[in-house]
Amino acid sequence: MTELTKANFAQETASGIVVVDFWATWCGPCRMQAPVLEEAEGAIPALKVCKVNVDEQPDLAGQFKVSAIPTLVFMKDGKIARTVVGYHDFEALEAIVGEISKA
């Protein structure tokens, strides 16, 4: 998984389907979400997973109006396709990616 900063955000999310995980080290649900995202990145061919630590990148979190974590921002070719908040299991992620890829 790629760690995003303001410097690399646009480049890393410019093409394909990318889920950006806004998280923090102290967040229990974020720690639960991480292995699911790792599994999804390997099992869903169209998906790239990136992470933004909200404590280290508060400007990015503010830009995306992140008020709760984990927040997952699904992007397609550089544009926001969907945003979800809270823990999501593998099947939910797979369904969201399927919907986005058809759009």
| Residues with catalytic function | 27, 30
Query: What is the residue-wise DSSP string for 17-53?
Result: EEEEEEE-TT-HHHHHHHHHHHHHHHH-TTEEEEEEE
Alpha-carbon Rg for the chain in angstroms: 12
Q: Measuring CA to CA, which residue among 96, 82, 72 is closest to residue 21?
A: 72
Q: Measuring CA to CA, which residue among 56, 54, 59, 58 is closest to residue 70?
A: 54
